[in-house]
Amino acid sequence: MGFIIGTIIALGCIMGGFAGMGGHMAVIWQPMEFIIIGGSALGTFIVANPMMTIKDTGRAIIEGVKGAGPIERDYLDVLGVLYSLMRELRGKGRNEVEEHVDNPEESSIFKSFPRVLLDKELTHFICDYCRLIIIGNARTHEIEALMDEEIQTVTRDKLKPYHGLLNVSDSLPALGIVAAVLGVIHAMGALDQSPELLGHLIGAALVGTFAGIFLSYGVVGPLASKIKVLRERRCRLYIIVKQTLLAFMNGAMPQIALEHGRKTISAHDRPSIDTVENETVSGGSQSAQAA
């Protein structure tokens, strides 16, 4: 919602200022200029990126427009899953715990926290490292190095839409110039026409430059930055899992290990320790109701 409001404010001020200077709004409406810029930007984006990134960029744009980043409920659910799994690891046999990590879709623990279960990549991340803990032969520093490497890979993949849109944003001013040059070429073919018509054609050509710059710095660039912020917040969930499980492997009690994970959450989004305690003791019942 913030993206939509900000774009309306920016576009309203630009158009309002133009109209206030005595400009004619009809001159701005040049569909062919927009088709040239938008089509060439889309085409170069498709050329530069694999289909998986293109599809993920579509999802990222929807996330950016909606502002759909992790909320407190997401953090609490991740901590709740980890707490339940750590209790199982401490108090039950290997076979009983393996049932949860081998088939999380049928696990009573994961079913209690549906927000985590919906994130397949995060669910697999949790299950993979719980499985390594069950095996019991890996050293903590080896697990930490492996987690760091995987988190870097996940972050890199999550930010591919950001880099793709950033490249589009950088190219839009130049594509706007291309559209303007084509418009000027068209105007040069009408030099024998009246000055009014020639002026209209030149004005239409310059709209291409305006559109390219505005789309770059006023729409695509800010949207890419918004996507980066939201995706980095989503990757923070992996850091929570990492710090919690490492603390547990080093001998911390489940509730203490949760505090290691809670402290990695941004202060603005971090739930209080009392809230975490209440949620983990409740066993995810509030989460299931909220979902």
Which candidate, 156, 153, 161, places its Cα nearest to that of 226?
A: 161
Q: How confident is the model at residue 282 (pLDDT cuts 50, 70, 90)?
A: low
Calpha distance 265→256 (Å, rounded): 15
The domain spans of the chain are 72-158+231-279
CA angle at residue 117 from 113 to 123, to 5 degrees? 115
Q: Which amino acid is present at 187?
A: A
How many other C-beta atoms can be found within 10 angstroms of the C-beta atom of residue 90?
11
> What pLDDT does residue 78 have?
94
pLDDT of 130-148, one tens digit each? 999 888 777 889 999 999 9
Which candidate, 122, 146, 120, places its Cα nearest to that of 133?
A: 146
pLDDT at 149 over 80: yes
Decide: 258 and 244 in contact? Cβ < 8 Å: yes
Calpha distance 158→220 (Å, rounded): 18
Of the chain, the percentage scoring pLDDT greater than 90 comes to 58
How many other C-beta atoms can be found within 10 angstroms of the C-beta atom of residue 50?
11
Mean pLDDT of the 49-67 span: 94
pLDDT at 203 over 80: yes
